[in-house]
Amino acid sequence: MTTLGTLIVSFFRNYLVNQKGYPQNTISSYSDCIKLLIAYSCDHLKVAIEKLDLFHFTDDLILDFLDHLENERENTIVTRNQRLAAIKTLFRFLALQDPTFIAVCERVCAISAKKTVHKVIESLEKDEVDAIFSAVKADTLWGARDLALLHLIYNTGARVQELVDLDLSDIRMEKPYQVLLTGKGQKQRVTPLFPETIASIQHYLRLREHSQLESKVLFVNSKGERITRFGIRYIIEKYADLTAKTIPSLKTKNVTPHTFRHTTALHMIQSGNEITVVAAWLGHADIKTTSIYVTINNEMKQKALEAFPPPKATQMKEPNEPLWHDPPILAFLNDISRQATLCGVEKKQSSTRSLQLSGHFT
């Protein structure tokens, strides 16, 4: 294996896993990015992969690669920026291993992420959430599972991977009801649960027990294995599509697991919760991430005000005489301003006449 290959293996095995503790999904994303970069570099530079060296990588090559992602692979700007972030992480690691690479690393890390169009965060109204829940037939094992999953995702605003990773031991079935969620960077948080959420989980587990389906995992698929991210997305989209037949507003919405996360955040803000509480509830490391929901809520309030007609006012006539006069101090200051203006005009006129007399103007 080449020196470059050895460094990349160390980057994934030692740095990302042992030092940074990144989750498997992030590591997989980084792996996809580095594979694309290596393949592009070999093709672009006409170099065999075993001959590819650390110093083949330059800031110009990285910029060409990013253009390739956008123009030829048709990646979105968001994906481009994610790839760039992964590359910067790799280059910082390489610079630590080989100090002669620091200058190249600095130039690559100076590459700016592209600005993206700010999209409106889509969320659900309370009646839409209720309608989706009502569409679930919880008298079967899988219907009960789906209802428990919907209750839990709306109650907690959990990320989809956080739901995937849940084990039975993460749920506290006694008061105070709560769930232990493991988020990004393996950070854990405890979130309280509604009695209704616990009731739906208990109902699901009773049906699962009758089916003799034993597992330490909370949400399982038809094979008895841990449910996947795609499985959860499929469940949510299925009930959203089913509900859209009776709730027209859902026809224009792309309802995903993350839509429920946005909905939970917005409904908590609308219920008067402090932004710091909502940030902790969602597991946001930076409160700036949560502040967008406050902005959305204010926009909704403004729209509500505009849609709310004001009372008809009595027509008011202007009085013949002013109802108030400047206080003496304001009148004094206004008079000074007027005098200064007049004085400036007179000086300008006098200066102009002097210049004309001296022959500077014809």
Report the CATH number at residue 249. 1.10.443.10
Question: What b/e string do you get for 152-183 counting C-beta neighbours within 10 Å, with b at 16 or more?
Answer: bbbbbbbbbbbbbbbeeebbeeeeebbbebbb
pLDDT reading at 358 higher than 50: no
Last residue of a domain, one of 268, 301, 334: 301
pTM of the model: 0.65
SS3 226: strand
User: Which pLDDT score, from 0 to 100, does residue 185 have?
Assistant: 76
Q: What is the extent of the structural domain holding 199? A: 126-301
- Do 133 and 249 reside in the same domain of the chain? yes
Q: Which CATH number do you get for residue 77?
A: 1.10.150
Look at the block and give the residue holding tokens 């907690």.
156
- Do 211 and 259 reside in the same domain of the chain? yes
Please give the full DSSP string across 69-85, using - where no structure is assigned: HHHTS---HHHHHHHHH
118 domain-assigned: no
* pLDDT tens column, 6-60: 899 999 988 998 888 887 888 889 999 999 999 999 999 999 988 888 889 999 9
Closest CA to 205 of 240, 173, 174, 247: 173
Look at the block and give the residue holding tokens 């700016």.
112
How many residues are given for the chain?
A: 362
Separation between Cα atoms, residue 362 and residue 357, nearest integer Å:
9
Percent of the chain with pLDDT over 90: 59
DSSP 111: P
Closest CA to 165 of 213, 205, 219, 203: 219
Closest CA to 240 of 163, 119, 153: 153
User: Which pLDDT score, from 0 to 100, does residue 347 have?
Assistant: 53
340 domain-assigned: no
pLDDT reading at 295 higher than 90: no
pLDDT reading at 357 higher than 50: no
Separation between Cα atoms, residue 239 and residue 132, nearest integer Å:
6
Q: Report helix, strand and coil shares of the chain as percent, to nearest 5.
A: 65, 5, 30
Separation between Cα atoms, residue 62 and residue 70, nearest integer Å:
13
- Considering only the C-alpha atoms of the chain, give the largest distance between any 2 of them, rounded to a whole number of Å: 111
* pLDDT tens column, 90-110: 999 999 998 888 999 999 999
User: Is residue 361 packed enough to be buried (19+ CB in 10 Å), middle (13-18) or exposed (0-12)?
Assistant: exposed
Last residue of a domain, one of 286, 301, 316: 301
- Do 54 and 88 reside in the same domain of the chain? yes
- Do 156 and 296 reside in the same domain of the chain? yes
Closest CA to 297 of 321, 328, 274: 274
Give the side-chain half-sphere CA count within 13 A for 353. Answer: 6
Last residue of a domain, one of 301, 332, 347: 301
Q: Active-site residues: which are they? A: 159, 184, 258, 261
- Do 102 and 136 reside in the same domain of the chain? no
- Do 289 and 160 reside in the same domain of the chain? yes
- Do 34 and 146 reside in the same domain of the chain? no
Closest CA to 188 of 204, 167, 206: 167
* pLDDT tens column, 264-280: 998 998 888 888 888 98
- Do 138 and 247 reside in the same domain of the chain? yes
Separation between Cα atoms, residue 281 and residue 156, nearest integer Å:
7
329 domain-assigned: no
Give me the number of domains the chain comprises: 2
- Do 165 and 190 reside in the same domain of the chain? yes
CA 236 to chain centroid, in Å, comes to: 20
362 domain-assigned: no
- State the chain's mean pLDDT as an integer: 85
288 domain-assigned: yes
Separation between Cα atoms, residue 160 and residue 170, nearest integer Å:
15
* pLDDT tens column, 174-187: 999 999 999 887 88
Residue 128 backbone phi and psi in degrees, to 5:
-70, -40
- Do 159 and 29 reside in the same domain of the chain? no
